[in-house]
Amino acid sequence: MRLKRIRVMAWLLSMVLVLGVLAACGSSPKEEKVAAPAGSESTNAGGNEPSATAKEDDGPFSKYEEPVTVSLGRQGVSGNNLPAGDTLENNKYLKYVEDRLNVKVKYDFSVEDQDAYNQKVTLAISSNSLPDILVVDEQQFKRMAKAGMLADLTELYDQYASPLIKDYYNSYTGDRVLNTGRIDGKLMALPNTNIDGNYQLLWIRQDWLNKLKLETPSTMDELKTVIKAFKEQDPDGNGKADTIGLLGDKSVVADGGFFTFDPIFNANHAYPKNWFKDEGGNIVYGSTTPETKQALSELREMYADGLIDKEFLTRKYEDNAGLVSGGRAGILFAPWFGGWALSDAVKANPEADWVPLAVPLDGEGKRNIVPSTPSGTFMVVNKKAEHPEAALKMLSVEYEGIRLLDSTAQELYKDLGVGWLNYPINVQLDYQDSLARDVPIYEKAIKDKKLDDLPARILPRVKAVLKNNENPKKDIPAYADSLAFYTAASITGAKEIVKVEPVFYGKTEAMLKKGANLEKLENETFLKIITGTSPLEEFDKFVKTWKSIGGDEITKEVAEAVESP
C-alpha cells in the first residue's frame, strides 16, 4: 500500500513540476556526459535522416523510412504546466519522439482522472479494442495477458530496447523488476521501476536538539527521550505548551508514506503488509507475526505516554503539514523527498534546521527497511499492433530525451520545468540506486566548485546544491532541492541500512476479492490497539479472524506463486 499518493503529490506539486525530469529519478553520470544518444545507431538525436547503418541494423533508434501511426491510450497530466497553446496531444516532447522515429502518435483516449482512465481501459479490454500501447496496472495487465490480447515482447526487447533501458532493468538484482512483466517465461509487458530509498527517514529539528542540549537519537529509547523533551521542554521558546510529539497517520504503515510508523515496526523486526518465509520455509504475512504485536505494544505505550500526537487519528495530511510549517512539530517520519515539504518550515522560520537520520536502529545497530514494490504499472502492446516494436523504440528515444542525452532534447522547454509525463509513454524508469549514484556528483561539485563535464539533466540540481552550500537557506527552492537530493539522498545509502526483501509483491485472485475487507480489519485493529481503544490481546483475535475470512486462502495462493517457476 502507498500512502495517499495524490495527497503527497498535491503537497509537493510545485516542486515536482520544477524537477521536470521526475522527482524520484536520477541517472548514471557516466552515461549522461555525451551530447549524442548513447548506443544510438542514428547519426544524431535531432531528428535528422538516420544513417544507412541505422536502417540496416534496425535498432532502437532507427527511423522508419515510411511514416508509421501508433495509437495510445493513457492517463493525462493533472496540473499540467505546458506553455499556452501546447497540449498533451501536441507538444515539443511528443514531436521530439515523432520526428526521431518518423512515427505519428494518435491518442485513442487521454483522461486525467484515475478512475475515468481505468474505466476506459476496462471498456477497451471488454470490447477487445485496445490501442497499440497502454500503461496499465497489474490486474489489467494480467487480465489482458490471460485473454491472449498482448504481444510477446521477449525478442523485441532484445532488439529494440536501448542499452540505457536495459541498464535500468539490469540494475535491479535478480531481474526482480523485469520478471514482474513475464508470464510463463515470456516478457509480456515492460514494468516501471521503483527506486531504492522511498522508506521513511527520521526527520528531526537539529536546532531544537541543540537548544535542549540533546544528543542525536539512534535507538528507540533515545528517540523516546527526544520526543518527550520536544513535547514538554518548550523547544520553540515561546513559553507555551504548544509543541507536540511524534506526528502520525492513520494509515499506520505505507511504502513511501509521510508520518507513518514503519520505522518503529521495523526496529522490532516487524514488516506489516509484506510477505516473507519464516525459518521453517513457510509463507508468512508480516502483519500477523509476534514481532508486529510487539511493535504495536510499543506504539501503544508511546501513545498512552503522550509521545505520539493524541489527535493523529483525526488529522488530515494537510493538518500535519501545517503543524510542521507552523513550527509546532519537530520530529516525524517521511521519505527523502520530504525535504521539499519541510522547506516550508524554514521559509516560515529560517532558524528551523531539519536533518534526516537513518534511525531508529534495532538492537544490532541496523536500520531495517523493506524495499519498495519493484513495479506497479506496465507498458503493454496490443497483439494486433502493426508495429509492436515501435513501443520499444519510442520508449528508448523518449528516455534519451528525458535524460537530456542530446543537444536537441536539452533545448526542449528549457528552464520552464515542463514535466516529463508529457512524453507519450508515461513509464517511470531509473536505476535501483539512482539516488546514491548522484551523491558523489554533488560532493565533487562542492569540493571543486566547478560545473564542468556534468550530466545536463543534473545541472539545475547541482547549481541548487552549490547555491545553498554558499548561502544556506537564503534561496528556499535551492535549499529544498539540496535537502532532498543531496542531504537526505546521502542518508539513504547509510551503512546501517539493511534491506529485508519480501518473497512476493503481487496480487492473487483471493487478494482481489477479499483484500479490501482484510486490510480494513487490519488497519482498524492496529489503530484501536495503538490508541488504547482495544487491549493488546485484540491482536491475537485479529490474526485468527484474518486467517479464517480469507487470509489462509491468500497465503496458500502466495505460496503457490512463490514456488511456481
pLDDT in tens, the chain (565 residues): 333 333 343 334 333 333 333 333 333 333 443 333 333 333 333 333 333 233 445 799 999 999 999 999 998 887 778 999 999 999 999 999 999 999 999 999 999 899 999 999 999 999 999 999 999 999 999 999 999 999 999 999 999 999 999 999 999 988 889 999 999 999 999 999 999 899 999 999 999 999 999 999 999 999 999 999 999 999 999 999 999 999 999 999 999 999 999 999 999 999 999 999 999 999 999 999 999 999 999 999 999 999 999 999 999 999 999 999 999 999 999 999 999 999 988 998 999 999 999 999 999 999 999 998 889 999 999 999 999 999 999 999 999 999 999 889 999 999 898 999 999 999 999 999 999 899 999 999 999 998 988 888 899 999 999 999 999 999 999 999 999 999 999 999 899 999 999 999 888 999 999 999 999 999 999 999 999 999 999 999 999 999 999 999 999 999 999 987 5
| 249 vs 553: CA distance, rounded Å | 30
Measured from the Cβ of residue 318, the count of other Cβ atoms closer than 10 Å reads 11
Angle between helices 92-101 and 389-402 (to 10 degrees): 130
Q: What is the pLDDT of residue 469?
A: 96
Nearest partner of 270 among 4, 563, 529, 11, judged by Cα: 529
pLDDT, residue 417, reads 85
Distances (CA, A) of 470 to 91, 415, 442, 446: 37, 22, 13, 9
Q: Which residues contact 534 (CB under 8 A, 6 or more apart)?
A: 525, 528
β partners of residue 186: 183
User: CATH topology for 201-370+501-506?
Assistant: D-Maltodextrin-Binding Protein; domain 2 (3.40.190)
Residue 287 corresponds to which cell in the numbers above?
Answer: 502483519
Residue 275 · residue 286 · CB < 8 Å:
yes
C-alpha to C-alpha distance for 18 and 415, rounded to whole angstroms: 9
Q: Could you tell me whether strands 377-381 and 190-191 are parallel, antiparallel, or unpaired per DSSP bridges?
A: antiparallel
For domain 34-196+375-422, the CATH architecture is: 3-Layer(aba) Sandwich (3.40)
What backbone phi and psi angles, to 5 degrees, belong to 2? -115, 145
Helices (H), 374-413: 389-402, 407-411
Q: Are 153 and 381 in contact (CB under 8 A)?
A: yes
Amino acid at 521: L
Q: What are the C-alpha distances in Å from 321 to residues 306, 317, 329?
A: 20, 6, 9
Sequence spans of domains, the chain:
34-196+375-422, 201-370+501-506
User: What is the spatial distance between Cα 339 and Cα 34, in angstroms, rounded to a whole number?
Assistant: 30
CA distance 458 to 30: 12
Strand 275-277 with 283-285, pairing: antiparallel
Which residues fall within 8 angstroms of residue 293, CB to CB, at 6 or more apart? 536, 539, 540
Q: Does this chain's domain 34-196+375-422 share its CATH topology with 201-370+501-506?
A: yes
What pTM, to 2 d.p., does this model score? 0.85
